[in-house]
Amino acid sequence: MPLVHNLLTDSAKRCSDRPALICEERTCTFGQLDEGADRLAAVLQDRGLRRGDRVAVFLENSTELVMVVFAILKAGGVFVVVNPTTKARKLAYLLNDCGVRVLFSQSSLANTVAKALIEAPSVETVVWATASPSDDPRSPTIAQWLSDAKAPPADPHLIDMDLAAIIYTSGSTGGPKGVMLTHQNMTNTAWAISTYLGNTPDDVVLCVLPLSFDYGLYQVITGARVGFTVVLERSFAYPYQTLKRMEQYRVTGLPGVPTIFATLLQMAPFEGVDLSSLRYLTNTAAPFPPAHIRRLQQLFPHARIYSMYGLTECTRVSYLDPARLADKINSVGQAMPNSEAYVVDEQGRRVGPGVVGELVIRGANVMRGYWGKPEATAERLRDGPIAGEKVLYSGDLFYTDDDGFLYFVGRRDDVFKCKGEKISPREIESVLFELEAVAEAAVVGVADPIDGQAVKAFVVPRHGHALTEQQVRQHCRASLESYMVPKFVTICDALPKTDTGKIRKASLVEAGSAATD
Amino acid sequence: MNLEQAVRRYIVENFLLGEDSGLSAAESLLGTGVVDSTGILELVMFLEESYGIEVRDEEMLPENLDSIANIVKFVERKLVGRRVAAQSIAG
């Protein structure tokens, strides 16, 4: 059974000169990527990195990010990719939570890093992509390390049960939780995804998703497995530029989330841009509106469209065979290869077609648990049908039809998705409460034509305090990743409550949706 | 307030929490993390509303929007275009 970095090494042996990555017009071949990762791994080991040590990667999408991820694995470490819009306090939380020893970052994020490091004593070394913001010898650059390497890295004697990555996800309670994925999890999932998508070495996949998001990360991992090229974009900030790049590199695969497809559809019919190379589109992270699927089918009649479903705790669960779009457009399909997904009732018993219950996932894709959180882990990972086996309780409500196809109904808690990212209302509310003028706050998701769901905050000011929408939004921008900053803010006198004093979020969602229509 | 000052003020107030940390006119807004992809859309809405211009999809490019200097040049060009169009209608 291979390890994740073996996927890259094998591709480098098979097709050393093929482009692995194209980022900002720069091409990096499989051979160059593998060799660079080897060099960085050797220096990491030289600096004392041991098997199982955690290394954080706080970088924007770039060739360096991918090289560093593979270097960490080759050195025997566990990588933690952090969204580059993360603010200092949360970065410090993540670094502390899993005890990160080495941090890779870039000079444009130096202020955030400096603030976070004050509260993160476990970090011994910071390595900078491009220029180092200081002369401190403890702050080398990736370029220095690449030239420092003397010998290939030593074999860290990993087995596939060892951890490869920790991916942070928000939940309805507590701070973000680190999903632990083993080499076995990741190589299995990369195999399963590239198998059902029918990826070939001739594919050219455009990735605008951040690699801190597992959906983005897996473009690179499956690319390494299959030997296809990933055109890695820093973001989707300039959609027209992205379209031009799709034409330029004859892109065959476009992974997206509903926000991205909604933006693309607004730009249709793409005059003067030839996108005829596109062979497939995939959607996950939030439900794919059928109207959008139909319009994309008209725009790209030769492309297969995959409606998929997953969660960080097992990466991917299911996909709908594009041939079934005609009769099952609302379904997210069936379990992907080598995994099983079924619906259970409150007692954990399997239920028949048409009955709504919690979706349970069984397979090699299921995480090992949350880092350092045995209680939260026990809630999600429960005993499966075979002795000693754990299955994943998703927290998502589903039903199946008579043919066994899965249909998403909603969440069991108040977590929702915006731009494909998981939003924990509680995380935003606790930031709102830091404002002295805030007496009460509630955050809900409201329907939004572009983002699927948008973040809406209701805030009640304390007596004698004035509060403006702009103050609220500015405060949120300073503490939260950009996707969590409320799109809508309503300052009100009171929040609707139940007899027991609990905020009635359902009425807020209704009020919010009516107000934003 | 000239165009550059107005654009700078909008960016400082909305993306830098009111603190002008010495952002240079040539610095990349996306590259320095001052503005993200959602911010670009907000910025475009601000320009459209404040200057009565229409930013087309194919004009949403870094060379038009990714620094204060680029934004100023872009808006100036759009304003000239609008005046020419207005004159030809009037004429």
**What's the domain count of chain A?**
3
The pLDDT value given to residue A1: 58
C-beta atoms of A237 and B37 within 8 A: yes
CA distance B41 to chain A (A): 8
Token representation of residue A66: 């991918």
C-beta atoms of B61 and A240 within 8 A: yes
Q: Which residues, including other chains, have CB under 8 Å from residue A487's CB and lie 6 or more apart?
A: A448, A451, A454, A455, A456
Residue A115 burial (CB < 10 Å; 0-12/13-18/19+)? middle
Strand partners, B52: none
Taking contacts as CB-CB distances below 8 angstroms, the residues of chain A near B38 are 482-483, 485
Token representation of residue A411: 């969440």
| Average pLDDT score over residue span B49-55 | 92
Q: What is the CATH number of the domain that holds A247?
A: 3.40.50.12780
**In A, what residues contact B, Cβ < 8 A?**
84-85, 108-109, 234-241, 266-267, 272, 470, 474, 477-478, 482-483, 485
Token representation of residue B27: 């610095």
Taking contacts as CB-CB distances below 8 angstroms, the residues of chain A near B39 are 482
Helix (H) or strand (E) holding B36: none
Shared domain for A70 and A152, answered yes or no, is yes
The pLDDT value given to residue A401: 97
Shared domain for A23 and A151, answered yes or no, is yes
**What's the domain count of chain B?**
1
Q: Is the pLDDT of residue B37 over 90?
A: no
Domain hosting residue B75, numbered range: 3-90
Q: What is the CATH number of the domain that holds A139?
A: 3.40.50.980
Shared domain for A348 and A458, answered yes or no, is no
* Amino acid of residue A466: A
Shared domain for A172 and A260, answered yes or no, is no
What is residue A348's DSSP assignment? S
Mean pLDDT for each 10-residue chunk of chain A (517 residues)?
93 97 96 98 97 97 97 98 92 97 93 94 94 77 93 96 96 86 98 98 97 97 98 91 95 94 87 94 90 93 96 97 96 97 95 96 98 96 95 96 94 83 87 88 88 89 88 88 90 83 81 60
Mutate to test the interface with B, among A238, A242, A448 (most CBs of B within 10 A): A238
What is residue A482's DSSP assignment? G
User: What percentage of chain B reaches a pLDDT higher than 90?
Assistant: 40
Q: Is the pLDDT of residue B91 over 60?
A: no
The pLDDT value given to residue A173: 73
The pLDDT value given to residue B89: 66
What is residue A30's DSSP assignment? H
Task: Supply the mean pLDDT for chain B.
Answer: 85
Q: Determine phi and psi for A114, rounding to 5 degrees.
A: -60, -45
C-beta atoms of A108 and B62 within 8 A: no
Three-state secondary-structure class, residue B24: coil
Q: Determine phi and psi for A79, rounding to 5 degrees.
A: -95, 145
Taking contacts as CB-CB distances below 8 angstroms, the residues of chain B near A84 are 33
Q: Report yes or no: B30 at the A interface, CB cutoff 8 Å.
A: yes
Shared domain for A12 and A90, answered yes or no, is yes
Q: Determine phi and psi for A111, rounding to 5 degrees.
A: -65, -45
Domain hosting residue A473, numbered range: 417-516
Shared domain for A159 and A290, answered yes or no, is no
B3 or B23, higher pLDDT:
B3
Shared domain for A247 and A329, answered yes or no, is yes
Taking contacts as CB-CB distances below 8 angstroms, the residues of chain A near B17 are 474, 477-478
Residue A197 inside a domain? The answer is no
Shared domain for A366 and A339, answered yes or no, is yes
Pairing between β-strand A438-448 and β-strand A280-283 as defined by DSSP bridges: unpaired
The pLDDT value given to residue A516: 47
> How far is residue A171's CA from residue A167's CA, in Å, rounded to a whole number?
13
Shared domain for A393 and A276, answered yes or no, is yes
Total length of chain B? 91
Token representation of residue A146: 């690449």
Pairing between β-strand A304-309 and β-strand A318-319 as defined by DSSP bridges: antiparallel
Shared domain for A74 and A176, answered yes or no, is yes
C-beta atoms of B57 and A267 within 8 A: yes
Q: Nearest chain A Cα to B21, which residue?
A: A111
C-beta atoms of A482 and B39 within 8 A: yes
Q: Report yes or no: B37 at the A interface, CB cutoff 8 Å.
A: yes
> How far is residue A438's CA from residue A432's CA, in Å, rounded to a whole number?
7
Shared domain for A404 and A445, answered yes or no, is no
Residue A106 inside a domain? The answer is yes
Of A234, A239, A483, the CB nearest to B57: A239
Taking contacts as CB-CB distances below 8 angstroms, the residues of chain B near A85 are 33, 36
Count of CB pairs separated by less than 8 Å, A with B:
46
Q: What is the CATH number of the domain that holds B19?
A: 1.10.1200.10
> How far is residue A53's CA from residue A126's CA, in Å, rounded to a whole number?
15
Shared domain for A277 and A407, answered yes or no, is yes
